[in-house]
């Protein structure tokens, strides 16, 4: 949610909550507006769960306060003892989101020096009005789908360029720094996309679809594997025929890279490359042996890179 949208929601929710509280002739109607401000959150799911938590927390707070104030009277010491009992219980039952607003409502008992039913209902209604109005406004959330699709297109393009850099590196046309900079750029982009995907997921109370979350997690796993390949590829010092073969494979993956591509054809091609590596002439020097071993490991990493995409494609969305 943008700052502009959140500000508008807060202002309207506060204004309407206060008007409703005043219309019902409740004491301290401004408190309903403050609770509304605290209840306008970033996602529908967060708003609804917090609303229930605060209503439950209010009942708990009033129960503890009533017992303490009935026995010890209305004083700062009594209020401190109320907090001493109430706060750990609220945390124990995951109701901590209501500690601050509920404690403000409890101070109304101290000001009135009464825990009568009138003041109990007054506080409950103030809390209910604030959270219900806030949730009502938060049920409207802008769609993130267009933004997510644009981000995915950008990720695909960046990843395509990233794989092309591996191709260039193996042919000695670029350096390791270029690979690391592109990996850093992709990391930032994927983190931003995952954050948006999580907000989009939590803005659906029903018919939830975790596709965008799974997509970003899949690409992040591939990127983690690519970072390993960057370290391995730096150990390749010799120019061999196997370098060119792997460079061509990276180029082929880049050309076929697509959100909906299962990668099955590429996996078949990799199987033929395994045979090529095994049937190649044995290395004659230690350096050639080490270089060939590293290239073979990179081939295995590439295979896993494609398998991650295949697994994503065949796994059902929740």
Please give the chain's pLDDT, 318 residues, in tens. Answer: 667 777 888 899 999 999 999 999 999 999 999 999 988 877 777 778 888 889 999 999 999 999 999 999 999 999 999 999 999 999 999 988 889 999 999 999 999 999 999 999 999 999 999 999 988 888 776 677 888 889 999 999 999 999 899 888 888 877 888 889 999 999 999 999 998 888 887 776 566 678 888 999 999 999 999 999 888 887 776 566 777 888 888 888 888 877 777 778 888 888 888 777 776 666 566 666 677 778 888 888 888 988 898 888 776 555
Please tell me whether residues 198 and 172 are part of one structural domain.
Answer: yes
Contact criterion met (CB below 8 Å) for 30 and 18: yes
Please tell me whether residues 261 and 166 are part of one structural domain.
Answer: yes
CA atoms of 92 and 78, how far apart (whole Å): 22
pLDDT of residue 258: 76
Q: What is the 3-state secondary structure (H, E, C) of 18-67?
A: HHHHHHCCCCCCHHHHHHHHHHCCCCHHHHHHHHHHHHHHHHHHHHHHHH
CA atoms of 211 and 204, how far apart (whole Å): 13
Among residues 138, 159, 194, which one ends one of the domains?
Answer: 138
Please tell me whether residues 126 and 190 are part of one structural domain.
Answer: no
pLDDT of residue 317: 57
Residue with the two structure tokens 């890279």:
257
Please tell me whether residues 33 and 153 are part of one structural domain.
Answer: no
pLDDT of residue 28: 92
Among residues 138, 160, 190, which one ends one of the domains?
Answer: 138
CA atoms of 298 and 300, how far apart (whole Å): 5
CATH number at residue 261: 1.20.120.940
In which domain, by residue range, is 9 found?
3-138
pLDDT of residue 142: 66
pLDDT of residue 198: 85
pLDDT of residue 170: 81
The string of pLDDT tens digits covering residues 99-128 is 999 999 999 999 999 999 999 999 999 999
CA atoms of 99 and 2, how far apart (whole Å): 27
Please tell me whether residues 122 and 170 are part of one structural domain.
Answer: no
Closest to 69 in 3D by CA, of 120, 122, 127, 128: 120
Please tell me whether residues 182 and 134 are part of one structural domain.
Answer: no
Q: Model pTM greater than 0.75?
A: no
Please tell me whether residues 173 and 273 are part of one structural domain.
Answer: yes
Please tell me whether residues 216 and 247 are part of one structural domain.
Answer: yes
Give the helix ranges, DSSP H, for 234-285. Answer: 241-256, 264-279
* 240 Cβ contact list (under 8 Å, min separation 6): 288, 291, 292, 295
Please tell me whether residues 186 and 241 are part of one structural domain.
Answer: yes
Q: Is 49 exposed, middle or buried (0-12, 13-18, 19+ CB in 10 A)?
A: middle
Q: Is 300 exposed, middle or buried (0-12, 13-18, 19+ CB in 10 A)?
A: exposed
Please tell me whether residues 38 and 126 are part of one structural domain.
Answer: yes
Domain total in the chain:
2
* 108 Cβ contact list (under 8 Å, min separation 6): 27, 28, 31, 119, 122, 123
Among residues 76, 109, 138, which one ends one of the domains?
Answer: 138
Closest to 214 in 3D by CA, of 227, 226, 228, 200: 200
Give the helix ranges, DSSP H, for 113-235. Answer: 117-138, 145-170, 176-202, 211-233
Contact criterion met (CB below 8 Å) for 9 and 137: yes
Please tell me whether residues 83 and 111 are part of one structural domain.
Answer: yes
Please tell me whether residues 171 and 208 are part of one structural domain.
Answer: yes
Closest to 28 in 3D by CA, of 134, 127, 132, 131: 127
């Amino acid at each position: 949610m943008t700052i502009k949208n959140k500000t508008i929601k807060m202002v309207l929710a506060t204004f309407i909550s206060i008007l409703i509280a005043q219309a019902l002739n409740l004491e301290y109607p401004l408190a309903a507006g403050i609770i509304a401000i605290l209840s306008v959150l970033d996602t529908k799911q967060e708003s609804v769960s917090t609303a229930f938590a605060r209503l439950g927390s209010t009942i708990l707070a009033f129960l503890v306060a009533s017992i303490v104030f009935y026995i010890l009277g209305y004083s700062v010491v009594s209020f401190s003892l109320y907090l001493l009992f109430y706060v750990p219980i609220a945390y124990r039952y995951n109701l901590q989101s209501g500690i601050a607003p509920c404690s403000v409502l409890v101070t109304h008992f101290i000001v009135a020096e009464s825990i009568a039913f009138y003041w109990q209902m007054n506080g409950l209604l103030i809390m209910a009005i604030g959270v219900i109005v806030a949730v009502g406004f938060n049920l409207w959330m802008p769609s993130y789908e267009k933004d997510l699709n644009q981000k995915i297109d950008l990720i695909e393009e960046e990843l395509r360029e990233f794989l092309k850099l591996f191709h260039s590196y193996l042919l000695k046309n670029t350096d390791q720094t270029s690979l690391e900079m592109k990996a850093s750029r992709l990391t930032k982009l994927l983190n931003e996309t995952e954050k948006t995907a999580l907000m989009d997921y939590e803005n659906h109370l029903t018919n939830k679809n975790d596709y965008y979350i799974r997509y970003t997690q899949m690409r992040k796993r591939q990127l983690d594997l690519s970072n390993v390949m960057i370290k391995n590829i730096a150990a390749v010092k010799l120019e061999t025929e196997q370098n060119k073969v792997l460079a061509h494979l990276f180029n082929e993956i880049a050309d076929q890279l697509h959100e909906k591509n299962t990668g099955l054809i590429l996996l078949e091609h990799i199987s033929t490359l395994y045979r090529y590596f095994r049937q190649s002439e044995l290395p004659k020097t230690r350096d050639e042996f080490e270089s060939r071993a590293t290239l073979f490991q990179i081939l295995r990493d590439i295979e896993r890179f494609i398998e991650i995409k295949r697994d994503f494609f065949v796994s059902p969305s929740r």
